[in-house]
Structure formats: C-alpha cells, structure tokens
Structure 1
Amino acid sequence: MNRFFAALLVCLVSVSAMAAEAPDAMVKRVSEEVLDIVRQDKDIRNGDTQKIVALVDAKVLPNFNFQRMTSLAVGRDWRGANPAQKNRLAEEFKMLLVRTYSNALTSYSNQRIVFKPFRMKDGETDVLVRSEVIQPGSQPVQIDYWLELADGKWKVYDVVVAGISLVTNYREQFSREVRDGGIDGLIASLAAKNKSLEATASKAARK
C-alpha cells in the first residue's frame, strides 16, 4: 500500500510539473501583457502612480518569489531573523521593488523585448530566461530572469540587468544596515525608504 501511494505521489508531481506553463513562455507572456497595457493606457504613460502600482500588483507580483528574493538579498543574516521579521522584510522589499518597477514603466517609450533561444533539460527546476530590451536610439539592454519551479508554477527569484543581479546588488547595503541596527534596523530602513518613495510619487501625482 505504501508503494502504491508513493507511486501515486510521483505521478501527481510529474503531472503538476508538466502542466506548468514553460518558464520562457510565462516571462514572455507577462512582459507582453504589461507592455500592451502601457501602450494603450495614456494615464500610465503620464505617470499615474495608482494605475501603475495596480498593474504591477495584478500582472507582475504573482510571478515572483519574494521570500526567496529577500533571503538572497539579505544573505547570511537571513538565518538570524525570526519568522515575523522574515515576513516583514519580504513585504518591505517587495514594496521597494514595486516602486522601482513602477518608475521604470513611466519611462516607457516604444521599447520592445526580444527573447533569446531557451533551452531546458528534462527535470530542471532552476532555469535562466534571457532577453534584450531594444530601445530606439540606444544600445539594447540585457535583462535575464532566474526562475525556479515551486508548487507546479515557475516564479522569478532574481533579475539580472546588464550583468548586475538585482538581489546581490542590495546585499552589501542590507549587510551594512544589519551591522548598524540589526534585522529590525534593516526593516526600519526599508520602511522609511518606501514611505519616502510613496510621498514623492503622491507629490508628483498632484502636480
């Protein structure tokens, strides 16, 4: 009987993995959906913060693993955080990335994304999807996405822009914040930065 249930579990996991949308297809679909909305919505192109954040929240966030992103950005100090601190860190880091991504969307000007050939071995659960952003009058910008398969769905846990990893780019800064004020000091710093960015965005929207 135990063998039967073990075999059944293997089958269910295999079916779940097969049913998952391919990682490159997912990244391409989400990118195209977001850019299509930006192209069609004049308010977003004019910097409507509420609409931009709503777009990111609906289309982008569900496809990211912020818990893992935060753990990678915090590095070895992550192990010293308790569950409540980890959840708060992930939430504040998510808000920071949302603001960063939202600001990038306001500077949209007819960019297009070209995806490079993608190869994945059978059974792989950690992959890299490569792309280039083509900008009129500028050099292309390389943007690569690291994804992992978890619970039958591919999710992004790092973005590498022009060779610079998003999560490791924050690691030195976060490490310094933890040295100065501990995990709670890092949380407070992120919260203050998010409030400042929100206030700046609100002020810009009123102009």
Structure 2
Amino acid sequence: MTFKRLIALAFFMLAGLLPAAQASAQQAPDALVRDVTNEVLEIVRADKAIQAGDVHRVIELVDAKVLPHFDFRRMTMLAVGRDWRDASPAQQARLTEAFRTLLVRTYSNALTQYRDQTIDFKPTRFAATDKRVQVRTEVRQSGAQPIGIDYMLEKSDAGWKVFDVIVAGVSLVTNYRSSFTQEIRSGGVDGLIKSLEDKNRSLEAEQQRS
C-alpha cells in the first residue's frame, strides 16, 4: 500500500468522529478512534458511489466529518517549519487553507480503493492531565505486511484534535517540510502559497474531468 493510500485511510478512519465527539465530549481519544473506525470502514465498503470512484462524494464526506477533527493550522505550521514565524497573519491563513485543500484533494482519489483492510488498535497509555496523546493503530491487509498508522492528538478547549499522522514511521507534516522549505527558498512564502494554490486548481480541474 502506498504512502498516499495509507494517509487517505488515516483520514477516512476519522470520518465518523464528529457524531461520536458530539455525543461524548469527554471520551478518551483512543476509545474515540477505536469505536468509530470499524463502522466508518463498513460505510466506505457499502457506499456504492465511493466504490464506483465518485471523488466528489468522498470530498463532501471528508469536508463534513473529517476536517473538524484536524488542527490544520498547527499541521501547516509544523510543515512550514521555522519560516512560519516570518509569514504575516494573512499569509498564514492562506497557507493553512491551501494546505488543507491540498491534503483533501490529494488523498480523495485513494479513498475510493478500500475493501478488505482491518485495523488493530494498540494499547494507549496516558494520564488524565495529558494534553498530547499518540494513538497507535496497525492496518492489516491480506497478502501484505501490517503497516502502522499513528495519530498525534492534542487536547484544546474544542476537544481532541489531530495535528499529525505518522505512517510506517513517517510523519505527514515532516514529509511535506522539505518541499515547502525549497519552495520558500526559491520564491518566498508567497511563492509557496502560489505553488499550493496552483496544485489545488490543477487537482480540481482533473477531478472535474473524472
């Protein structure tokens, strides 16, 4: 399974968290992830539009149920690295919006390709006072080696939010950092914003044709 497909699965595993979080705001982060994952994967397998490759259906589902559980500002800040502090508030807002859109559009195609994956949940140890928790899971698929997908969550006034996903030991935000740094070195923060927005327009046009 490719890195892109694993990240896509990580996004979709959290697609059912919104109703659960509203129903039980005090639920532990590991229990929250565990309880909804199997149900969400069943929905994916049963949704005929998704199985038929309807990317627009996937994007609608992600927009409605996944995005509220990710701290995209923090993810963008970590991906941009030390250059984040040099960006103006307006630039930071555009970077965050562009990165969020890029993640959704990049991984939406891969979300239509899941059928027989199962998820194992590893024990999670944390204290009631902890503000950060790593929830470890393992994706199993027939004929392939298990691959770890870990969620880094941080507790805020709005509840638990994901600020990084680690796939097979590789951090999502770190995976983007080197390319973001290169873009900023060659064209500044505005150059990175333009590059991200150009990619988003290209992906949108491609998905509209499909």
TM-score tier (shorter): 0.7 to 0.9
Query: How far apart are the structure 1 equivalents of 2:175 and 2:153?
Result: 18
Which stretches in structure 1 are left out of the alignment for 5+ residues? 1-17
TM-score (norm 1): 0.85
Partners of 1:177 and 1:54 lie apart in 2 by: 30
- SS of 2:114's equivalent in the other structure is coil
Q: What residue in structure 2 maps to residue 143 of structure 1?
A: 149
Is the Cα–Cα contact under 8 Å of residues 85 and 183 in structure 1 kept in the other structure? Answer: yes
2:183–2:192 contact (8 Å) kept in structure 1: yes
Match of 2:181 in 1: 175
Residue 45 in structure 1 maps to residue 39 in structure 2: no
Distance 1:199 1:29 in 2: 36
Instruction: State the AA in 2 paired with 1:135.
Output: Q
For the residues of structure 1 that align with 2:113 and 2:25, how far apart are their CA atoms?
36
C-alpha displacement of 1:19:
4.8
Output the aligned Cα RMSD: 1.5
Q: 1:99 to 1:84 in 2, by over 3 A?
A: same
Q: Deviations over 1:121-150 (max 9, x none)?
A: 231001100001111221111100000001
Amino acid at match of 2:146: P
Q: Distance in 1 between matches of 2:112 and 2:99?
A: 20
1:109: which partner in 2? 115
In the superposition, relative to structure 1, how do residues 115 and 184 fare at CA in structure 2: closer, same or farther (>3 Å)?
same
TM-score of the pair, normalised by structure 2: 0.84
Q: Which residue of 2 is the match for residue 82 of structure 1?
A: 88
Letter in 2 for 1:134: R
Q: CA deviation at 1:25?
A: 2.0
Distance 2:132 2:205 in 1: 38
- What is the total number of aligned residue pairs between the two structures? 187
Q: How does 1:160-199 map to 2 (within 5 A)?
A: 160-199=166-205
Q: Quick check: which has more Rg, 1 or 2?
A: 1
Alignment partners' CA distance in 1, 2:167 and 2:195: 24
1:12 alignment partner in structure 2: none
Q: What residue identity is the alignment partner of 2:116?
A: N
Contact kept, 8 Å, 2:106 with 2:203, in 1: the verdict is no
Q: Answer yes or no: is the 8 Å Cα contact 1:34–1:55 preserved in 2.
A: no
